[in-house]
Structure 1
């Protein structure tokens, strides 16, 4: 087995083929990482969540990272790390187009609201939508791939 650096195009291909990532954020020097579904379009990863710790943390520090992988075996895998900036998609009147667009991209995937829509404690149903749609604007994408064989 050998490990090689992946090109930007190879990284893009892995990210485009998947829909589940591990999202890492940080607040006051403390890291936090959670699984999240996404949809890629252009230079943005569109995501959905209910309010909670990750949203609070990303609002206070918009620098985030995501890890996306393909796993065939212990000796054959690909891993991509995306670094970028959290940007919440506005829910204000006249600014809903991007939220609707994000929803339309996400809903093409089965169970797109999981795990971001699940909470450990039941929430009260309110008239206002608590849903948070956001995107991660990609600054950098790097990856490595393990392949069987010798260099």
Structure 2
């Protein structure tokens, strides 16, 4: 197997082709990582979630990392790390346009809201909608690819 660095354009292609990333955040030196559905446009990734640990932790520390990957087989894959900053997109005020943009991008995917909108355990009716749209402004993106040495 051979491993090589991939270009920013190749990283963009991997992120553009995907729709689920692993989001890592950190609070008080303790890491937390979860899978999350995203949309990619410009230099941002857009997300939807219900309030919970990841939102609380990103509010406390907006520096995050995401990992997106493509697998073509055990010895042929691409993996991209995205480093950036969390930005909440409330539906009113200065972030209204970005909030609507995130919604428009995410709703293009079937059942886009389910991973961020469902919680484990018994389902109860919520008294109000407290969902959160947010973005991650990309500060750095790096990637690697593995290829079978015989190919």
- The reply to whether residue 40 of structure 1 matches residue 40 of structure 2 is yes
8 Å contact from structure 1 (residues 37, 114) kept in 2: no
Q: Which residue of 1 aligns with 2:92?
A: 92
Task: Give the structure-1-normalised TM-score.
Answer: 0.93
Moved over 6 A (4+): none
- Unpaired stretches in structure 2, ≥5 consecutive residues: none
Aligned counterparts of 1:124 and 1:25: Cα–Cα separation in 2: 29
Q: Single out whichever of 88-97 and 101-110 deviates more from structure 2.
A: 88-97
CA distance in 2, matches of 1:80, 1:101: 24
- Which residue in the other structure is 2:145 paired with? 145
Structure richer in helix, relative to its length: 2
Q: In the superposition, relative to structure 1, how do residues 94 and 135 fare at CA in structure 2: closer, same or farther (>3 Å)?
A: closer
The match for 1:115 is 115
Equivalent runs, 1:1-151 vs 2, <5 Å: 1-93=1-93, 95-121=95-121, 122-127=123-128, 129-149=129-149
8 Å Cα contact 1:36/1:114 also seen in 2? no
The alignment yields a C-alpha RMSD, in angstroms, of 1.6
Between the aligned partners of 2:142 and 2:150, the Cα distance in structure 1 is: 23
Partner-residue secondary structure (3-state), 2:102: helix
Give the TM-score, by structure 2 length. Answer: 0.93
- The structural deviation recorded for 1:96 is 2.0
Query: Contact conserved, 1:66 with 1:81, CA < 8 A, in 2?
Result: yes
The alpha carbon displacement at 1:91 in A equals: 2.4
Q: Which runs of no fewer than 5 residues in structure 1 stay unpaired? A: none
- The question of whether the paired residues in 1 share the 8 Å contact of 2:91 and 2:100 is answered with no
| Residues 1:53 and 1:123: Cα distance change in structure 2 (over 3 Å) | farther
**8 A Cα contact 2:76 2:145, kept in partner:** yes
